[in-house]
Amino acid sequence: MSGTELFVAVIKIAIVLGFLLNMAAITTWADRRQSAMIQDRVGPNRAVIYLPAWLVRAVVLGGGVLVAAAIAVPFWAKHPGLESARITTGIEIAILVVWTTLLLISARVRKDSDGVAPYRDGADSAFEERVAQLAPRTYFYAGLIAQLAALFFAQLAPAGFIVRGSSFGPGVAGSLAALAILLAAGYSAGRVGEDPVPLRLAGMLHALADAVKLIWKEDLRPRGADRLLFALAPMLAMFPALVTMAVVPFGSTLCFIDFDRDKVLSFADLAHLAPVVGPSGACSAGQLAVSLSIANLDVGLLYVFAIAGTGVIGAAIAGWASNNKWALLGGLRATSQMVSYEVALGLSIVGMFMVAGTVNLQKLVDWQGQNAWGIFVQPLAFVLFLVALVAETKRVPFDQPEGESEIIAGYFLEYSGMKFGMFYTGEYIEFVFSSVLLVTLFFGGYHLPFLDPDGLRITLGSDLIYELKLTHLAVSAIHIATFFGKTILMVWLQLFIRWTLPRFRYDQLMRLGWTRLLPLALLNIVLTGAAVLALESAGEPLGNAVAIAADISQSLVALAALGGSVLFVTGLLEPSRTKRITASSAAQMALAEGGIRAGKMQA
Amino acid sequence: MATDNMTWTKAASKTPVPTHTIARPSRTLGVQSYVPELLKGTALTMRHFFTNAKERLLGQKRDPVLDNFEGGITTIEYPEERRIYPERFRGLHRLTVRADDSPRCVACLCCSTACPAQCIHIEPAEYADGDERRGYERFPAAFVIDELRCVFCGFCVEACPCDAIRMDTGLHPVPYDSRDQFIYDKTQLLALTAPDGTRRTDNARHEPGDPTHPGLSRDHDAH
**Chain B residue nearest residue A116, CA to CA:** B60
- How much is the pLDDT for B58? 67
Q: Which of A27-36, A321-330, A435-444, B178-187 has the lowest mean pLDDT?
A: A27-36
CA distance B69 to A579: 6
Kindly report, residue by residue over A282-314, the tens digit of the pLDDT. 777 778 888 888 888 888 888 988 888 888 888
A578·B70 Cβ contact <8 A? yes
Spell out which residues of chain B touch residue A496, defining contact as CB-CB under 8 Å. Answer: 42, 45-46, 49
Say yes or no: A499 contacts chain B, CB-CB below 8 A: yes
CA distance B64 to A456: 48
Q: Which of A117-126, A530-539, A586-595, B122-131 has the lowest mean pLDDT?
A: A117-126
Binned at pLDDT 50, 70 and 90, residue A1 comes out as low
A403 SS3 class? coil
User: Pick from A265, A283, A267, A285: which is nearest to A275 by CA?
Assistant: A283
Spell out which residues of chain B touch residue A115, defining contact as CB-CB under 8 Å. Answer: none
Please tell me which residue, B62 or A456, carries the higher pLDDT value: A456
Spell out which residues of chain A touch residue B71, defining contact as CB-CB under 8 Å. Answer: none
Spell out which residues of chain B touch residue A572, defining contact as CB-CB under 8 Å. Answer: 50, 53-54, 57-58
Question: How is chain B split into domains, by residue range?
Answer: 30-84, 85-206
- Region A385-399: what's the mean pLDDT? 87
Nearest CB neighbour to A40, from listed B57, B58, B74: B74
A40·B84 Cβ contact <8 A? no
Is 90 exceeded by the pLDDT of residue A65? yes
Kindly report, residue by residue over A309-359, the tens digit of the pLDDT. 888 888 889 888 988 888 899 889 888 888 888 888 999 999 988 888 888
- How much is the pLDDT for A119? 46
- Region A119-138: what's the mean pLDDT? 75
Q: What is the DSSP letter of B206?
A: P
- How much is the pLDDT for B140? 94
Question: How is chain A split into domains, by residue range?
Answer: 49-199, 233-250+297-570, 254-290
Let me know the angle formed at the C-alpha of A205 by A204 and A210, rounded to the nearest 5 degrees: 105
Say yes or no: A492 contacts chain B, CB-CB below 8 A: no
Let me know the angle formed at the C-alpha of A101 by A97 and A104, rounded to the nearest 5 degrees: 140
Nearest CB neighbour to A42, from listed B51, B65, B77: B77
Say yes or no: A579 contacts chain B, CB-CB below 8 A: yes
Say yes or no: A590 contacts chain B, CB-CB below 8 A: yes
Say yes or no: A148 contacts chain B, CB-CB below 8 A: no
**Highest-confidence range of A236-245, A464-473, B121-130, by mean pLDDT?**
B121-130
Complex ipTM more than 0.85, yes or no:
no
Say yes or no: A505 contacts chain B, CB-CB below 8 A: no
CB atoms within 10 A of CB B43: 11
A596·B81 Cβ contact <8 A? yes
Spell out which residues of chain A touch residue B195, defining contact as CB-CB under 8 Å. Answer: none
Kindly report, residue by residue over A564-599, the tens digit of the pLDDT. 988 888 887 776 666 777 777 777 877 887 777 665
B68·A499 Cβ contact <8 A? no
Nearest CB neighbour to A501, from listed B41, B55, B77: B41
Nearest CB neighbour to B76, from listed A108, A501, A596: A596
Q: Give how far B25 is from chain A: nearest CA, Å.
A: 20
Kindly report, residue by residue over A244-262, the tens digit of the pLDDT. 888 888 888 888 887 777 7
CA distance B195 to B200: 12
For residues A361 and A249, is the Cβ–Cβ distance under 8 A?
Answer: yes
User: Pick from B113, B211, B98: which is nearest to B159 by CA?
Assistant: B113
Say yes or no: A261 contacts chain B, CB-CB below 8 A: no
Residues in CB range of A534: below 8 A, 6 or more apart: A542
Say yes or no: A41 contacts chain B, CB-CB below 8 A: yes
Kindly report, residue by residue over A82-107, the tens digit of the pLDDT. 777 788 888 888 999 999 998 888 87
String of DSSP letters for A204-263? THHHHHHHHHHHHS-----TT--HHHHHHHHHHHHHHHHHGGGG---SPPEEEE-TTSSS
**Chain B residue nearest residue A121, CA to CA:** B59
For residues A586 and B66, is the Cβ–Cβ distance under 8 A?
Answer: no
Q: What is the DSSP letter of A516?
A: I
Q: How many CB pairs under 8 A join A and B?
A: 135
Instruction: Match domain B85-206 to its CATH number in 3.30.70.3270, 3.40.190.170, 3.40.50.300, 3.10.20.30.
Output: 3.30.70.3270
Q: Spell out, as residue ranges, where chain B has pLDDT lower than 50.
A: 1
Cα–Cα distance list, B173 to A285, B93, B147 (Å): 78, 10, 7
Kindly report, residue by residue over A192-227, the tens digit of the pLDDT. 877 788 888 777 888 888 888 888 988 888 888 888
If you compute the radius of gyration of chain B from its CA atoms, what whole number of angstroms results?
30
Nearest CB neighbour to A108, from listed B59, B61, B64: B59
- How much is the pLDDT for A602? 42
Spell out which residues of chain B touch residue A582, defining contact as CB-CB under 8 Å. Answer: 66
Residues in CB range of A208: below 8 A, 6 or more apart: A25, A47
CA distance A370 to A550: 9
| Whether pTM exceeds 0.95 | no
B45·A499 Cβ contact <8 A? yes
Q: Give how far A91 is from chain B: nearest CA, Å.
A: 28
Binned at pLDDT 50, 70 and 90, residue A528 comes out as very high
